[in-house]
Amino acid sequence: MKLFHRKKEILPIPAPFTAADIKTEASICTGERMIGFYDRKTHKLRYAELVRSEQYIDDFYARYGVPPENIR
């Protein structure tokens, strides 16, 4: 029984983006991976976060309430 379990808040997807705009990118030099919302006008990743493992990707989708069938 968890007495102090906090329900995780689902964040709204930022205004001009949809769930289909979530994208991962990798650096050519270091191989570092980032996940965020891809802006088609500027060709940049917005609200980007560093990906340290596959669990980070799953957590990113869950944070914005995107169902698992839309992942990858």
Q: Name the helix (H) or strand (E) containing 62.
A: helix 54-63
pLDDT at position 70 = 57
Contact in structure between 49 and 61 (CB atoms under 8 Å): no
At 7, the pLDDT band (50, 70, 90 cuts) reads confident
Q: Which residues have a Cβ under 8 Å from the Cβ of 23 and sit 6 or more positions away?
A: 35, 36, 37, 38, 45
pLDDT digits (tens, 9 = 90+) for 54-63: 999 999 999 9
Query: Pick the residue with more confidence: 71 or 68?
Result: 68
Give the model's pLDDT for residue 67. 82
Mean pLDDT, residues 2-6 taken together: 68
- In the chain, the percentage of residues whose pLDDT exceeds 90 is 72
